């Protein structure tokens, strides 16, 4: 037969091990049972060990193992008197707020180098933070192939997030459809009735095309990189 304090301590240890995977410290036990010193906890722990409810392992911190529980604690109507306290956050800690995310279709691969065939199929989906989806309209994602945009911070294998639009400002990084056959990721510049598709890598030349040969398919609004 356990005393009320012994039962409370055993239950507190059980709850904390279930939550954290490790027993509480003696200070946490003292606070939970509202005792003035840790010597009272030592006496309760010794009593529980002598009665075969717990086992202490030598030379290890917080090394307490529950061997068995009293029948009263296993009964369906048992209600613990103690509830494990949630630790207070560190001083100055900022609250963590939920982040809105959306799943976007990854429409295959896009060339950041030599243009590849136009992309029109969904290969998979990727979760994207809602804050990355700027403005109204539809968004999609593409996997980058090539290194022509590395000086713009876009590497081979990155996922770029694109907002669908058919117009662009000078300096925008866009998905451009060239002569209805090739899709490429480049920086857009209009020069009279010509369109320059600029790489961000000196190893690649700027392509200068008539404006009717270039259709803007979207503008870069975000990038996702996996290491």
Q: Give catalytic residue positions.
A: 148, 186
In terms of Cβ atoms closer than 10 Å to its own Cβ (0-12, 13-18, 19+), residue 79 is exposed
- What secondary structure does DSSP assign to 20-54, as a single string? HSSPPPHHHHHHHTT-SSHHHHHHHHHHHHHTTSE
- Which residues lie below 8 Å from residue 195, measured CB to CB, with a gap of 6+? 176, 188, 189, 208, 209, 210, 211, 213, 214
- Distance separating the N- and C-terminal Cα atoms of the chain: 57
b/e per residue, 187-217, with b = 16+ CB within 10 A? bbbeeeeebbbbbbbeebeebeeeeeebbbb
């Amino acid at each position: 037969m356990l005393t009320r304090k012994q039962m409370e301590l055993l239950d507190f240890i059980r709850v904390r091990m279930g939550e954290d995977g490790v027993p509480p410290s003696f200070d946490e036990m003292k606070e939970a049972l509202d005792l003035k010193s840790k010597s009272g906890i030592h006496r309760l722990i010794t009593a529980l060990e002598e009665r075969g409810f717990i086992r202490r392992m030598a030379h290890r911190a917080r090394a307490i193992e529950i061997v068995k529980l009293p029948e009263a604690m296993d009964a369906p109507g048992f209600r613990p008197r103690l509830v494990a306290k949630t630790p207070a956050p560190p001083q100055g800690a900022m609250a963590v707020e939920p982040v809105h995310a959306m799943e976007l279709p990854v429409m295959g691969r896009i060339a950041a180098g030599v243009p590849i065939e136009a992309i029109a199929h969904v290969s998979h989906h990727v979760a994207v933070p809602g804050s990355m989806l700027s403005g109204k309209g539809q968004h999609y994602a593409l996997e980058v192939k090539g290194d022509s945009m590395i000086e713009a911070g876009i590497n081979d294998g990155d996922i770029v997030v694109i907002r669908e639009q058919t117009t662009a400002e000078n300096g925008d990084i866009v998905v451009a459809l060239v002569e209805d056959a090739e899709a490429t990721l480049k920086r857009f510049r209009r020069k009279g009735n010509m369109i320059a598709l600029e790489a961000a890598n000196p190893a690649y030349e700027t392509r200068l095309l008539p404006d009717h040969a270039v259709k803007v398919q979207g503008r870069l609004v975000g990038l996702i990189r996996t290491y």
